[in-house]
Amino acid sequence: MLIVQKYGGTSVGSVERIKAVAQRIAKTASDRSIVVVVSAMGKTTDTLVKLANEISSNSCRREMDMLLSTGEQVTIALMSMALQELGVPAISLTGAQVGIVTEAQHSRARILHIQTERIEEHLQLGEVVVVAGFQGISQTPHQEITTLGRGGSDTSAVALAAALQAERCEIYTDVPGILTTDPRIVPEAQLMSEITCDEMLELASLGAKVLHPRAVEIARNYGIPLVVLSSWSDAPGTRVVSAIPKRPALQDLELTKPVDAIEYDTNQAGISMLRVPDRPGVAAKLFSSIALQKIDVDLIIQSIHESNTNDIAFTVRKDALKQVAAVADAILPALGKNYYPSLGEPEVKTEERPIAKVSLVGAGMIGRPRVAAKMFETLAAAGINMVMISTSEVKVSCVVDAEDCEKAINSLSLAFDVNVADISMSSADLELGEVPSPVRGVALDINQARLAVRQVPDRPGIAAKIFGLLAQQNISVDMIIQSQRCHSVNGSLTRDVAFTVSQPEGEATYQILANAAAKFGWGEVVLESGIAKVSVVGSGMISHSGIAAQMFEALAVSQINILMIATSEIKISCVVKEEDGVKALQAIHKAFGLSGNGVVKVPA
Ligand code: ADP
Ligand code: ASP
Ligand code: MG
């Protein structure tokens, strides 16, 4: 039996820790083969980044990889020595020596394949193989040292487990497993014994750095049993479970098809509330009134505000539309007047035309901005206008006119090479058996910036242009929202489009779009860096009405204003001001009853 074990930075942060981990490995190495993947000791990688910054704020990525990859090499040698000292035969290998072959993209290389022969030879000899995580080597002739992106040792470990067809991959870290949220912010966070890959993908990409999202993607695609546990205890930790995998070939390991299915739902109706006041409690009031009627809401989006008013748009089942419209109408008077009467008063608008939701599904969309851009391009080429857009890590959904649904599915399945068998009506993702709450985890991402593009001409192809331009520069966008409100500019209709990107990419994104404004005919571009995103995730959320209402209420009670809302079937995200982020996370975690009685201690 073969297992891959990965030990993160804190777990190997000192010589004492390395010795303790070696003891642990020695215990299990007696009756099985072990491949150990290690990170750099403690905060070594951060320290190296700082050193480079002292020389240049703009060091070339090749040299950064050369520098950062040294961190892991220290640990492999020391770990191997510690094992040998205990009488356990061991050998350390760098990513290049193992043959972890990656793309030539420095600082964010994806793994193409792993040559397993050398590792297998050593395992045959009864040795523990200690591999440097986070690093690889580009293909011949140059054979450059590459790194996989910060936190990438998890990805090295799971990829090795896939390539070696290991029984299991164990990720040892400084917390007891996957918790309901980050224990550094909420010490009362509770351990989950099990979580689905899709839930974990969302959490990981939304700021829960306990697992690298790409590691989860590989585990999901190849069906690798994955466990996250503490290197300080013998507690069982958290199992990350996947549905039956498709087990793609091991060539191009991290380049598998990004989209594996298309889902559609023609039983939807759209409704929006326009020009509602921009203050805490409005979304809470609306969605709690709807939840009281036991009506499920599917997509929810709230766009950027304009002169202190917001638009909230959402979809419900067709047969609930009338009832929901009545509920929304009934709360209008309670919202009060707007400060700028010239904009018009709050209004409820139902979409007269029947609509359909079409979604691309697949774990490979993370960090691949081209997928969403290509979806928009494909729809535009087919002459289909998008009414709403909503993105998550495992899904991009577009709401289109119902009469365009079939055409949309056909063109998308061609463009993304999706088999007919993988086209289906929307369905629930893998659900766990007994879970106490439909909301499983809460995450905070303070590393985000928000952009708004004003007065975007309302015609097919413009969203494709915007996101295509960004995809060309490899900028990943999240929470794309298209406003429901149309403006008439010189006689033609325009809408606003807003989205979030990671903070370091905010400025570049702004430049690209501002420079292209005149050419493509959109208006002002607005960048706002001080935002945070809080999200709740759970695959049981689909069948529970009122989750969104509960989240919005928790924020309203804390007097936190919601700047943007976007949802998918298993996630609801709200953008709030950066300084409200931590308070928002704590309030939401508490509101869903996720706090336990004990507190999680995180080693310093
Ligand atoms: P390692 O060095 O072992 O890779 P990381 O620091 O990358 O460890 O990840 C572990 C940290 O992730 C924890 O110390 C914790 O603060 C943070 N974290 C954030 N969200 C969660 C969560 N939902 N569950 C567990 N840990 C989380
Ligand atoms: N040492 C690398 C980092 O700090 C990789 C890792 O620890 O996973 O990002
Ligand atoms: Mg990590």
> 324 Cβ partners below 8 Å, 6+ apart?
271, 290, 293, 295, 316
Confidence of residue 338 (pLDDT cuts 50, 70, 90): low
Burial of 176-211, coded b for 16+ CB within 10 Å and e otherwise, reads bbbbbbbbebbebbbbbebbbbbbbbbbbbbbbebb
Spacing, Cα 395 to ligand 3 middle (Å): 24
Residue scoring higher pLDDT (423 or 158): 158
75 alpha carbon to ligand 2 midpoint, in Å? Answer: 12
Query: Among 240-244, 326-330, 346-350, 505-509, where is mean pLDDT lowest?
Result: 240-244
The CATH number for 50's domain is 3.40.1160.10
Residue 141 lies in a domain: yes
SS3 332: helix
- Cis ω for the linkage preceding 141 (within 30 of 0): yes
What average pLDDT score do residues 202-228 get? Answer: 92
Cα separation, 28 vs 383, in Å, equals 60
Give the other-Cβ count within 10 Å of 575's Cβ: 29
pLDDT the model gives residue 536: 95
Tell me what pLDDT residue 495 has.
Answer: 83
pLDDT digits (tens, 9 = 90+) for 246-304: 777 888 888 878 888 999 999 889 999 888 888 888 888 899 899 888 888 888 888 76
Q: Which structural domain range is residue 66 located in?
A: 2-241
The band of 343, judged by pLDDT with boundaries at 50, 70 and 90, is low
554 SS3 class: helix
Output the CA 157–ligand 2 centroid distance in Å. Answer: 12
Ligand 2 atom nearest to CA at 9 = 7
Least confident span in 278-292, 323-337, 426-440, 533-547: 426-440
Stretch among 154-158, 237-241, 340-344, 448-452 having the lowest mean pLDDT: 340-344
Please identify, by atom number, the ligand 1 atom nearest to the C-alpha of residue 181. Answer: 23
Ligand number nearest to the C-alpha of 209: 1
> Which residues form the pocket of ligand 2, taking CB atoms under 6 Å from any ligand atom?
8-9, 39-40, 45, 71, 133-134, 150-153
Residue 521 has pLDDT above 60, yes or no: yes
pLDDT band at 435 (very low <50, low <70, confident <90, very high): low
177 CA to middle of ligand 1, Å?
8
By alpha-carbon position, which residue is closest to atom 12 of ligand 1?
210
Residue 209 in domain: yes
User: Which numbered atom of ligand 2 lies nearest the CA of 150?
Assistant: 9
Nearest one of 293, 289, 478 to 368, comparing CA atoms: 478
Q: How far apart are CA 262 and CA 573, in angstroms?
A: 23
Q: CA-to-CA distance for 574 and 596, rounded, in angstroms? A: 24
pTM for this entry: 0.90
More confident residue, 299 or 245: 299
Counting atoms of ligand 2 from 1, which one is nearest the CA of 149? 9
| pLDDT band at 427; cut points 50, 70, 90 | low
> Does residue 339 register a pLDDT over 60?
no
> Bigger pLDDT: 462 or 410?
410
**pLDDT classification of 25: cutoffs 50, 70, 90:** very high
CA of 147 to the centre of ligand 1 (A): 20
- Residue 424 pairs in a beta bridge with 263
User: What confidence tens digit (pLDDT) does each residue in 86-126 have?
Assistant: 999 999 999 999 999 999 999 999 999 999 999 999 999 99
pLDDT band at 26 (very low <50, low <70, confident <90, very high): very high
Nearest CA to ligand 1 atom 15: 182
For the CA of 9, the closest atom of ligand 1 is 2
Tokens of 562: 């919601």
In a domain, 93, yes or no: yes
Domain membership of residue 262 (yes or no) is no
Ligand nearest to the CA of 11: 1
pLDDT at 341: 61
Domain membership flag for residue 72: yes
- Determine, yes or no, domain membership for 412: no
CB–CB of 114/255 below 8 Å?
Answer: no
Give CA–CA dist 372/389, Å, rounded.
10
Look at residue 271 and give its three-state secondary structure: strand
Q: How confident is the model at residue 539 (pLDDT cuts 50, 70, 90)?
A: confident
213-217, 288-292, 334-338, range with greatest mean pLDDT: 213-217
Cα dihedral value 513, 518, 520, 525, nearest 10: 30
Question: How much is the pLDDT for 296?
Answer: 83
Confidence of residue 323 (pLDDT cuts 50, 70, 90): very high
Residue nearest atom 5 of ligand 2, based on CA coordinates: 151
- Ligand 2 atom index nearest CA of 46: 4
**Which ligand is located closest to the Cα atom of residue 212?**
3
Percentage of the chain modeled with pLDDT above 90:
59
Domain membership flag for residue 458: no
Q: What are phi and psi of 163, to 5 degrees?
A: -65, -35
Mean per-residue pLDDT over the chain, rounded: 90
Residues with Cβ–ion distance below 5 A, ligand 3: 8, 151
Instruction: Give me the percent of the chain exceeding a pLDDT of 70.
Output: 95
Please report how the helices 370-381 and 405-416 are oriented relative to each other, as an axis angle in degrees rounded to 10. 130
User: Which positions ≥6 away from 315 have C-beta within 8 Å?
Assistant: 268, 269, 270, 271, 297, 298, 299, 355, 357, 388, 399
Distance 208 CA to ligand 1 centre (A): 7
Q: Higher confidence at residue 474 or residue 449? A: 449
421 pLDDT higher than 90: no
Q: What is the pLDDT of residue 115?
A: 95
Query: Which ligand approaches the C-alpha of residue 135 most closely?
Result: 2
How does residue 490 score in pLDDT terms, banded at 50, 70 and 90? confident
**Which residues are paired to 515 by β-bridges?**
none
Does the pLDDT value for residue 374 go beyond 80? yes
| Residue 402, amino acid | A
Rounded to the nearest angstrom, the distance between the alpha carbon of 175 and the centre of ligand 1 is 7
Tell me the pairing of strands 441-457 and 492-502.
antiparallel
Q: How many domains does the chain have?
A: 1
Give, using CA atoms, the residue closest to atom 4 of ligand 2: 45
Ligand nearest to the CA of 72: 2
Q: In terms of pLDDT, which residue wins out, 103 or 307? A: 103
Question: Of the candidates 426, 390, 376, 385, which has an alpha carbon nearest to the alpha carbon of residue 404?
Answer: 385
Question: Is 571 within 8 Å of 392 (Cβ atoms)?
Answer: yes
**What CA–CA distance (Å, rounded) separates 112 from 139?**
9
For residue 8, the ligand 1 atom closest to its alpha carbon is 3
pLDDT of residue 99: 95
* CA of 144 relative to ligand 2 center, distance in Å: 19
Mean pLDDT on 55-80: 97
**Cα distance from N-terminal residue to C-terminal residue, the chain:** 34
The pairing of beta strand 478-482 with beta strand 226-230 = unpaired
| Mutation probe of ligand 2 site: the residue of 37, 150, 209 with most atoms within 8 A of C-beta | 150
**Ligand 1-lining residues (CB < 6 angstroms):** 8-11, 39, 151, 173-175, 178-179, 181-184, 203, 208-210, 441, 602
Tokens 């404004």, located at residue:
517
Highest mean pLDDT among 457-471, 479-493, 513-527: 513-527
Q: Which of 175, 214, 232 to mutate to test the pocket of ligand 1 (most atoms within 8 A of CB)?
A: 175
What's the 85 CA to ligand 2 centre distance in angstroms? 26
pLDDT bin (cut points 50, 70, 90) of residue 434 is low
Is the pLDDT assigned to residue 430 strictly greater than 60?
Answer: no
